Amino acid sequence: MATEQDDVIAEPKASPPSNVGSTLKATREAMGKDLPEVASQLRIRLPYLAALEDGRHKDLPGGTYAVGFLRTYADFLGLDGEEMVRRFKQEAAGDLTSRAELIFPSPVSEGRIPGGALLFLGLVLAAAAYGGWYWLNARDTSIAEMVPPIPERLSAVKAPAEPPPAQAEPKAEEPRPDDAKSATGEVVPPAEDDDKPPAPAADARPAPVPVTAAVVEAAKPPAAPPAVETAKAEPKPAEADTKPEPAMASEAPTSAPAPAPAPAADPKVIGEDNIGARIVLTAAGDDCWVQVREMDGQLLLSRLLRKGDSYRVPDRPGLNLMVGNAGALEISVDGKPVPSLGAAGQVRRDIKLDPDKLTAGG
Amino acid sequence: MMFPKLTGLFSADMAIDLGTANTLVYVKGRGIVLNEPSVVAIAEEKGKKKVLAVGDEAKMMLGRTPGYISAIRPLRDGVIADFEVAEEMIKHFIRKVHNRRSFASPLVIVCVPSGSTAVERRAIQESAESAGARRVFLIEEPMAAAIGAGLPVTEPTGSMVVDIGGGTTEVAVLSLGGIVYSRSVRVGGDKMDEAIIAYIRRNHNLLIGEGSAERIKKEIGSACPPEDGEGRTMEIKGRDLMNGVPKELIVSERQIAESLAEPVGAIIEAVKVALEHTAPELAADIVDKGIVLTGGGALLSNLDYVLRHATGLPVSIADDPLSCVALGTGRALEEMPKLKNVLTSMY
C-alpha cells in the first residue's frame, strides 16, 4: 500500500503534463482495478467515472457533484483529494460553474394589465368623461358667443378691399343668390307682400345711411332693395337677398351677419325690419359691442356696432341688453335720446330694454 | 483594503449561521468575517450578570470556570436554550462586525433548523431583533446548506443534502427552489462528543470534558472501525472515576468508532427515512447524482463511506463543509430580491 502510494505521488511529478483524468487512470491501472469495479464500490455511475478519467467535463453533472465524485475517487485511489480537486478546478474552469445560477420558478402573472397602464387608461377615461361633460354643459353659450363674431372678423378683414368681399360674398352665399335671383324677379313683390320693412326702413334709414336715404325716401319700401342694389353694387344683392329670408324668419340675428360685409365706413342700420321699434341703439362715440337676448335667454343679436351703426330693437317686452362700451352707445326711445348707460369702456349687463325704464334713466 | 471598508459603511447587512457549536457571520460584500464558537462567559458581580467573553475566549473557559463565572452555550440542539445569553451573544457579534459609524441598523438573515418549532423560530427572530437588527429574516438550514454547497436547488431535479451540524442533522430533498422533504434529527457533533464521553467513562472509568471529547473526535474520530488493527491512537487526559485522581489514557480509532456507532447510526437512519419518503422521480435523480454532505459532521472520517454503503448511493462531501450554511445564507442576502421566497419571517 505504502509503496503504491509513493509510486502514485511520484508519477505525476515524473510526467508533469498529465492532467487529472490521466493521473486517475494511471493510478487505477497501477492498482490493477478496472472501472466497473471502482464504480460499484464507489456507487458512482460508470459514465461519470469514465468522463472524469477522459476529462470530458461536459458529461459530468453540476459542479458540486463533479468535484465531490472526483474527491471520492481520488481518496479511494489513495491520492490527495484536495490537491486533485484544485487541479481539476483549474482544468475545468470554463466548463464547470461551481456557482450555479439560481432562478426560482415564479408563477406566471395572471394576464392582468400592468398597474401603470391601467392607471393611465383610467386617467385618460376620466379626462375624456370630464371633457365630454364640460363640453355638453358649455356648448350652448360657447356656440352663441363664439360663432357670431367670426363673420364680424371676416368682414373686418375683408372690408378694406372691396372687390374681394364682393367675390367672397356671393361665393359664400351662393345658394342664396340663386334662390334670390329666381326670387329677385319676385323679390319686389315679396318685399311688398311682406310690407314689414318699409315703415321702419323709412324711419331709420335717413339717419345712418345717407346714400340710401335719398333712395328710400324717393322709392318707398318696394323700391328699397333695388335701390340699395344700385347704390352699392355687388355686395348689396346679398343684403337684399337675405332680407326676404329674415323677413320670413322674422329674426334679426340671421339678417345681422349678412349686412356685415357691407362697407364698414358707411353707418348702417340693423334690424330694419323691426317694425315699430321704439328703441334704437346707436354706436355713437365709438365701436360698441352689444348683445340682445330674449327673455328666455335666446340670442337675438350679438355683434359689434361700428361707429355710426344702429340697431332697431324689436318692440317686445323682456329683452335684455349687454353692452361692452356703455359710453359709446346712444339709446333713443321713440327718437328721443335717453341718458347714457355709463362711462366709455364700461361693461353693462342685464339692462332691461324697456322704453319707460330707459327714459327714466336705465 | 480601502474598498471593502468603504462599502461596509453603506451596507452592513449580515447573514448569521447561528449554530450550536459555531456562529458564522457573513457580511454583505465582504464574505465570512467571523467564525467563533457559540459560547458566552458570564460573570456575576454583586448579583448583576455581565458578559465577560464571547467566542474563542469564552470557549477556553468552558469547564474551567470559578464560581462567579459561568461559560454557557446558549444553543442546544440547534435552537436557543438560554434566551438572554443568546441575545447577548448575537448582540456581541453584530457589534463586532457592524460598523458603528453607520447609523442604519443592519438587516439580518438567520438560519434555523428545518425541524424547529414556531416558538423556537420566534425566539431566534426576537433575540436577533433585540440585538439591534433592523429587520430579521429566517432561512431554513438545509436550503442554506444546499445553496452554499452550490447545488442546483432551483432546477427541476432532486438534490439531497445532509447537513450535520453541532446540534442537529438536517436531511432534505430539494427541487425547484423548495424543500420537498426534510427531516431534522437532534443528533450532531454534540451527541458524538457525549457518546465519546460516555464510552470512555463506561469502559475506562475515566471522566473527560466536552472539550477533550471534541478534540478526540476531530483527531481520531471515524464513522467505521478501521479494516485491520486499532488504527490511529491518541492520548487523553481526565479524572479517574475509581480513585478520583487525574489520569492519562490511550484510546484507539477502533474504540472511538465503536463509541460513535450510535450517533452515526442515527444519522444513517435519518437519511434512510428521508429516502423512503422521497417521490420516485426525485429518488431517480438522487441515485444519479447522490447525496452531498455539509456541516462539520461531514468531516468525520469515513462517514461518506458508511453512508455510501448504507444507502447504495454516491456520497460526496461539499467544498468547505463547515461554512456551507453561512455561505448559503450569505448568498440569500446578496441576492435578496431573487431568493426572496426562501426567506421567511415569523411576523
A-to-B residue pairs, Cβ atoms closer than 8 angstroms: 79
Q: What is the pLDDT of residue A193?
A: 47
If we measure between CA atoms, which residue out of B277, B235, B273 comes closest to residue B252?
Answer: B235
Q: What mean pLDDT is predicted for residues A120-128?
A: 94
pLDDT of residue A145: 60
- Three-state SS annotation for B294-337: ECHHHHCECHHHHHHHHHCCCEEECCCHHHHHHHHHHHHHHCCC
Q: Determine the pLDDT at residue A283.
A: 81
CB distance A89 to A20 below 8 Å: no
Of A45, A100, A102, the CB nearest to B339: A102
Residue A168 has pLDDT above 50, yes or no: no
For residue A85, the chain B residue with the least C-alpha distance is B319
Question: Which phi and psi angles does A145 have, rounded to 5°?
Answer: -85, -30
Q: What is the pLDDT of residue A6?
A: 45
Instruction: Please give the pLDDT value at position A308.
Output: 80
Q: Is B21 on the interface with A (CB under 8 A)?
A: no
* pLDDT reading at A176 higher than 60: no
State the nearest Cα–Cα gap between B226 and chain A, in angstroms.
15
Distance from CA of B339 to the nearest CA of A (A): 7
Measured between CA atoms, the residue of chain A closest to residue B159 is: A65
How high is the pLDDT of residue B49? 86
Residue A22 pLDDT class (50, 70, 90 cuts) = confident
The better pLDDT of the pair A116, A152 is held by A116
B319/A contact by beta carbon, under 8 A: yes
Of residues A158 and A19, more confidence is placed in A19
pLDDT of residue A151: 59
Comparing alpha-carbon positions, the chain B residue that sits nearest to A101 is: B152
Q: Which of B289, B312, B318 sits opposite A61 (nearest CB)?
A: B289
Q: What is the nearest CA distance from A41 to chain B, expressed in angstroms?
A: 9
How close A120 comes to chain B (CA, Å)?
Answer: 27
pLDDT at A153 (0 to 100) = 60
The whole-number pLDDT of residue A30 equals 87
Residue A279 pLDDT: 81
Nearest chain B residue to A38, by CA:
B314
Angle at the Cα of B135 (from B134 to B138), degrees rounded to 5?
145
Calculated CA dihedral for residues A351, A353, A355, A360, nearest 10 degrees? 0
Please indicate whether, in this complex, the C-beta atoms of B313 and A98 are within 8 angstroms of each other: no
pLDDT digits (tens, 9 = 90+) for A285-309: 778 888 888 888 788 888 888 888 8
Q: Do residue A102 and residue B316 have CB atoms under 8 angstroms apart?
A: no
pLDDT, greater one: A15 or B269: B269
Question: Residue A158: what pLDDT?
Answer: 56
| Exposure string over B219-234, b if 16+ CB within 10 A, otherwise e | ebbbbbbeeeeebbeb
Bridge partners for B140 per DSSP: B112
Report how far residue B18's alpha carbon sits from residue B136's, in angstroms, rounded to the nearest whole number. 13
Place of cell 437532534: B186
Least confident stretch, A229-233, A263-267, B124-128: A229-233
Contact between A60 and A26 under an 8 Å Cβ cutoff? The reply is: no
- pLDDT band with cut points at 50, 70 and 90 for residue A244: very low
> Is the pLDDT higher at B281 or at A57?
B281
Q: Which residue of A has its CA nearest to B305?
A: A42
* Residue from B150, B152, B188 nearest B303 by CA: B188
Option in A64, A69, A106 nearest B318 (CB): A64
pLDDT of residue A81: 79
> Which of B291, B316, B329 would best serve as a mutation to test chain A binding (most A beta carbons within 10 A)?
B316
Percentage of chain A beyond pLDDT 70 is 56
Q: How far apart are CA A242 and CA A237, in angstroms?
A: 8
Closest residue in chain B to residue A72, using alpha carbons only: B316
- B73-114 pLDDT, tens digit each: 998 887 888 888 988 898 888 888 876 655 667 889 999 888
Lowest mean pLDDT among A74-78, A169-173, B26-30, B108-112: A169-173
Q: pLDDT per position in chain B (347 positions), as tens?
A: 444 445 445 557 889 998 888 999 999 888 899 999 999 999 988 888 889 999 999 999 888 889 899 999 998 887 888 888 988 898 888 888 876 655 667 889 999 888 888 998 998 899 888 888 888 999 999 999 999 998 888 888 899 999 999 889 999 999 988 899 999 999 999 999 999 999 999 999 999 998 899 999 999 999 999 888 888 899 999 999 999 899 999 999 999 999 999 999 999 999 999 999 999 999 999 998 899 999 999 999 899 999 999 999 999 999 889 999 999 999 999 888 888 888 888 87
Please say if the pLDDT value at position A204 is more than 80: no
Of A43, A63, A72, the CB nearest to B312: A43
Across the interface, whether the CB atoms of A62 and B153 are under 8 A apart is answered: no
CB contact under 8 A, A68 and B292: yes
Of B288, B319, B338, the CB nearest to A104: B338
Between chains, do A62 and B152 touch, taking CB under 8 Å as contact? yes
Identify which of B313, B314, B339 has the shortest CB distance to residue A104. B339
Q: Specify the long-range contacts of residues A352-359, CB closer than 8 Å, at least 24 apart.
A: A352/A318, A352/A319, A352/A320, A352/A321, A353/A279, A353/A292, A353/A313, A353/A319, A353/A320, A353/A321, A354/A317, A355/A278, A355/A279, A358/A279, A358/A331, A358/A333, A359/A333
Contact flag A72-B304 (C-beta cutoff 8 Å): yes
Mean pLDDT throughout A70-78? 87
Helices (H), chain B: 2-10, 56-61, 83-97, 118-130, 141-149, 189-204, 210-220, 253-259, 261-276, 280-289, 303-311, 324-334
Does B308 reach chain A within 8 Å, measured CB to CB?
Answer: yes
Provide ipTM, 2 decimals.
0.83
How confident is the model at residue B201, as a pLDDT?
94
How far, in Å, CA of B328 to CA of B345, rounded? 17
pLDDT confidence of A362, banded at 50, 70, 90? low
A76: closest chain B residue by CA: B305
The maximal CA–CA distance of chain A, rounded, in angstroms, is 150
Write down the pLDDT at residue A330: 81
Q: What is the mean pLDDT of chain A?
A: 68
* pTM beyond 0.90: no
Residue type, B296: G
Q: Do B154 and A63 touch (CB under 8 A)?
A: no
